[in-house]
Structure 1
Amino acid sequence: MNGIESLLDVKNDKNQFPCPVCKRGFSRKFNMQSHLKTHDTDRVKPYECTYESCNLRFTRKHDLKRHINGIHNSQKEFLCPQCNRNFSRKDAWKRH
């Protein structure tokens, strides 16, 4: 197996690093560790959605932007080629 094949094999192994809380699998340890922080109810969430009656808060600015684009602005750029359904997030489309 060459370096590229090895890299692709690791990327495709989504269960190599399972979350100890919810068992969701990740191909990279760093991604699992970042995800693990979402289970911490005491974590600081400085980024607040300002849309009326939304009140959601986020730890990362990136997550707030993704929320606004996907929920409030209805940006759905990922199209399923089999059923033509649109998704705002690539991971949601892949799970579908």
Structure 2
Amino acid sequence: YNCPECKRVFRYRACLISHTKTHINQRPHICVQCNRAFKDSSALNKHQRIHSGSKPYTCPLCARAFSQSTNLNRH
């Protein structure tokens, strides 16, 4: 799937759809606590962990918890 704006190629249609949001400045998902806006709901959900303090990703070796899976993987 090719992006008509920048010609970037994606294997899945869903990835192209998500990518096309980068070309428009539409951010319909608003954080109710700080009014920060996001392009998709998953980014908003990840952001809201800052306010809630939720750390759902736990290291199986040392039990250290992280708010994002990428931080756990880096650890």
TM-score normalised over the length of structure 1: 0.48
Percent identity reads 30
SS of match in other structure, 1:50: coil
Match of 2:50 in 1: 71
Residue segments in structure 1 that go unaligned for 5+ positions in a row? 1-27
Deviations 1:16-52 (A, max 9, x none): xxxxxxxxxxxx844xx56x83xx374311011110x
Aligned to 1:91: 70
Displacement of 1:83:
4.3
Q: Does residue 46 in structure 1 map to residue 35 in structure 2? A: no
CA distance in 2: counterparts of 1:41 and 1:86, whole angstroms: 35
Return the offset for 1:87.
0.4
Q: TM-score, normalised by structure 2?
A: 0.58
Which runs of 5 or more structure 2 residues have no equivalent in the other structure? 1-9
Matches within 5 A, 1:19-38: 29-30=11-12, 33=15, 37=19
Q: What is the count of residue pairs matched by the alignment?
A: 63
- Relative contact order (alpha carbons < 8 A, sep ≥ 6): 1 or 2 greater? 2
The ranges of structure 1 where at least 4 consecutive aligned residues each deviate by more than 4 angstroms after the TM superposition are none
